[in-house]
Structure 1
């Protein structure tokens, strides 16, 4: 069960440096125990849950009113974690990782069983500290109900979810209002599947250099 037993979403202000690591530890414990935690990234606020906890995943989809066919993104804290989840990484993917990570690019990697996995390494210390401290695979999505604009501050997260999530790490407004760009790598080909803050032309120009 999530460690927030009050059934009221608790806001933890990580701008207070005296309480920073205490807040990170509380939120990380909540993730390990099946809770839903909102946190800032360099683009918009995200919601995170334990990737391998079916009940937490179900709660997240219900809170977001998200269609079941829409994927979640695995968010990592260190680039070396990619191979733990995605296996062998293609040269095209390596080029993108070297150029844009940490940053607002999510990459869909093919897996040996024919499925795939979407991974992102955020350029935000709060997000990375949370994931690293939780020490679990963290599945994420943007902090908004389906079909509505993503949250760019803690008050918007609260307005969307009331008491449906457990904790919000309040890092203040995000520097961007645009979502991350999502690309899919298959058979050495890069396809942009969601346009975001990194323009497709920037990605294409990056790949032309190699």
Structure 2
């Protein structure tokens, strides 16, 4: 069932729906809920049977860890231990918000949540529905949640995206509208005083460096080996083949496919002359040049055209600028299987 909620303000009826979701979680149920990043597929983080169900429903490898969502910063040292001061500093500055901290896990977290690792990803989401749900499940409780979609596919940013694939497999979908950020959280880890970026996301690296007053090291260079969500080469992918090209090659490829009577969606951030893509079997969509706005709408756009009868999705390679890092990461992984 889908429960529709006004994400800005919850009235009594809506609070009752969140309370119903909280009861389901406490009984071992599975609830899809909105966050500011994407919709999560949530269960009681201490219920190992429920956690295993999430892996089964998503068809997710059991060594691929889940993120633990908490309702208040004061709960951090219940779910993690040996927390470095840099982690506290980032939590105080960015939480609630799209930042996940990889920390030494506490004994309260089962192995199945962390994929058997001694670390855990923890975050405090910034969506009113998620926060209310977290605060209703009771003291010393948290929600373990990956994105509410099949493993490796496009993350959901609306309840409709969740319903399209999981509606008959889970107990409830809380509809809190479209996700404000639209991309997953930034994931940060800490090792011997060094801060590592394990996944770019909703918080820019530059903002993190400004708060810490020190550089953040890319996971591609010297980061310790830590399995985190969304880090495999192929991920966030539509079923329709998606390929990335710089603009001249993009136009050339689209026209070649059109000449073969193939239907193609062409997505650019650059402005181009409509005559360059004039074939009737080419659908051209121009996205925003603002990376924040682009990120907010990316997954919804991919969902829309993945469900339509197109043979290919061709996308313009994002600018090589720090503000576009998370978008570049998602599109590279989404296109990996079709390189």
**Shorter-chain TM-score above 0.5:** yes
Aligned position for 1:85: 79
Asked if residue 50 in structure 1 is aligned to residue 41 in structure 2, the reply is: no
Aligned position for 2:169: 164
Aligned position for 1:148: 153
Aligned position for 1:124: 127
Q: Tell whether the 8 Å contact from 2:42 to 2:143 is kept in structure 1 after alignment.
A: yes
Q: How far is the alpha carbon of 1:112 from its aligned partner?
A: 7.4
Instruction: Please show how residues 1-210 of structure 1 align to structure 2 within 5 Å.
Output: 10-15=1-6, 17-111=11-105, 115-135=118-138, 136-208=141-213
Give ranges in structure 2 of 5+ residues lacking alignment: 108-116, 215-339
| 1:140-195 superposed Cα distances (whole Å, 9 cap, x missing partner) | 11111111111111110001213111101111111122111111122222111111
Cα distance, 1:69–1:98 mapped onto 2, change above 3 Å: same
SS at 2:209 equivalent: helix
Number of aligned pairs?
A: 201
Q: Tell whether the 8 Å contact from 1:31 to 1:49 is kept in structure 2 after alignment.
A: yes
SS at 2:146 equivalent: strand
Q: Tell whether the 8 Å contact from 1:110 to 1:186 is kept in structure 2 after alignment.
A: no
1 CA distance for matches of 2:124 and 2:173?
A: 20
Q: Tell whether the 8 Å contact from 1:109 to 1:186 is kept in structure 2 after alignment.
A: no
Q: How far is the alpha carbon of 1:117 from its aligned partner?
A: 1.5
1 CA distance for matches of 2:137 and 2:191?
A: 31
Q: How far is the alpha carbon of 1:87 from its aligned partner?
A: 2.5
Of residues 28-37 and 136-145 in structure 1, the stretch that sits farther from structure 2 once superposed is: 136-145
Instruction: Point out 4+ residue stretches in structure 1 off by more than 4 angstroms.
Output: 111-114
Give the number of the structure whose alpha-carbon radius of gyration is greater: 2
Bigger RCO of structures 1 and 2 (CA < 8 A, at least 6 apart): 1
Of residues 26-35 and 133-142 in structure 1, the stretch that sits farther from structure 2 once superposed is: 133-142
2 CA distance for matches of 1:193 and 1:130?
A: 28
- TM-score, L = length of structure 1: 0.89
Q: How far is the alpha carbon of 1:31 from its aligned partner?
A: 0.3
Cα distance, 1:27–1:89 mapped onto 2, change above 3 Å: same
Q: Once superposed, what is the RMSD of the aligned Cα atoms? A: 1.9
Q: Tell whether the 8 Å contact from 1:92 to 1:189 is kept in structure 2 after alignment.
A: no
1 CA distance for matches of 2:105 and 2:39?
A: 28
